[in-house]
Amino acid sequence: MDTYKRLPIKIVRGKGCWVWDQNGKRYLDAVAGIATCSLGHSDNALRRALTRQLNQIQHVSNLFEISEQEALASWLVDHSCADRAFFCNSGAEANEAAIKLARKYGHFKRGIEEPVILAAKAGFHGRTLAAISATGQPNYHKGFEPLVQGFEFFTYNDFASFEKLLKQIENKGPRVAAVLIEPIQGEGGINTGNEIFFQQLQAECIKREILLIFDEVQTGMGRSGNWWGYEHLGVEPDAFTIAKGLGGGHAIGALMVKQHANFFSPGDHASTFGGNPFACKAGITVATEIERRNLLTNVNKRAAELNDGLIAITKSFPNHLHTVRGLGLIQGLVLNEETTITAQLFTKAALNEKLLVVPAGPKVIRMVPPLVIKASEIEELLKRVKATFRNIE
């Protein structure tokens, strides 16, 4: 339906951090399906596990117990602050579940007639109607009005902005049920959370019995260098959402909650495909392989190399580049406001250097390679970024 501005290559095969087009040209992939292919392409362990699962069973209804789902839920609970999991198929669906949970919490726990959810400007929470309504970027709203009501926005990392909005909304009594926020804003330009801001935010939420919900769709499952983005901020959310890297390229999402935020009852929410054996086998395989291969250590080592290299590149092209932002293997190269180069222009030009990157807004070039990337591949990535700038100056 012409909903994508596709780049002019057709990817037909992949292995590790590399993909090949229909003409046999090989590209270094710093997109990873947009932070999704955690173990890279055609990973041996994932391929073997999913082949075995297909030979066993691929899908049953959630009306029955599912051992693979129980195994993944147990792993996630053991490796996070959460106590319960609800499985779905995507990040947007996980955020939809979080929005429903927040509203039920507001109604039944707080007695709020029309619950309000606060979210950050420049945030991004998905493409469904409620998820774009929670997204603090007006360009995603155009043409889809009327939006879902009940969302208000404050400035990211600005506690004064949050406090002012909260007081304005609650001047006649409690109305705010939850805060939905990313620990690192992805689509909004790779903006990293400020530790002091998030600790102030959590303290205020605790004081007012407001649910603090993190969108970890892009940051979760080790991409930030820790399992979860919240671990960098010295806080624990009441709930968080995950997807993307959880399935290593297979469709799965989840809403994770602490027990005190576990407000769903049978019939409140459901998903036909969510948490089926195939998707959960992908999830548990990705999780255990990240552990077995010690990939969090790899992420941090490669992140330091990538960050140092990108900083050096900004100094080489001061007329075009401003700074570098991000954590772990979610990093953004920020363009100057004055330059005529846009992130989209750079993305297209990088194809000539056989490099895949992706924009994060008009002025940020995003790099989210597989977590298995090697030091030599980081070096090659940096070389191709530099060559692309030389060619488009």
Tokens at 207, concatenated: 């004081």
Tokens at 41, concatenated: 């392409």
Which residues, in sequence order, are CB contacts of 133 under 8 Å at separation 6+? 141, 147, 148, 149, 150, 151
Bridge partners, residue 14, by sequence: 19
Does 11-36+294-392 match 44-292 in CATH topology?
Answer: no
Q: What is the pLDDT of residue 353?
A: 98
pLDDT (tens digit per residue) in 219-260: 999 999 999 999 999 999 999 999 999 999 999 999 999 999
Strand order in the sheet with 211-215: 84-88, 253-257, 239-242, 211-215, 176-181, 116-120, 151-154
Using pLDDT thresholds of 50, 70 and 90, give the confidence band for residue 108: very high
> Domain residue spans in the chain?
11-36+294-392, 44-292
Residue ranges of the alpha helices (H) in 263-341? Answer: 277-292, 295-316
Asked whether the whole model's pTM tops 0.85, one would answer yes
The pLDDT of 362-381, averaged and rounded, is 98
Exposed, middle or buried: residue 161 (CB in 10 Å: 0-12, 13-18, 19+)?
middle
The pLDDT of 306-322, averaged and rounded, is 97
Evaluate whether the domain defined by 11-36+294-392 bears CATH number 3.60.15.10.
no
From the list 330, 254, 321, the residue with the least C-alpha distance to 32 is 330
Q: H or E segment at 72?
A: helix 67-78
Question: In this structure, what is the dihedral angle of CA atoms 120, 126, 87, 209, given to the nearest 10 degrees?
Answer: 20
Class level of CATH domain 44-292 = alpha beta
Residue 318 main-chain phi, psi, to 5 deg: -65, -20
The pLDDT of 18-26, averaged and rounded, is 97
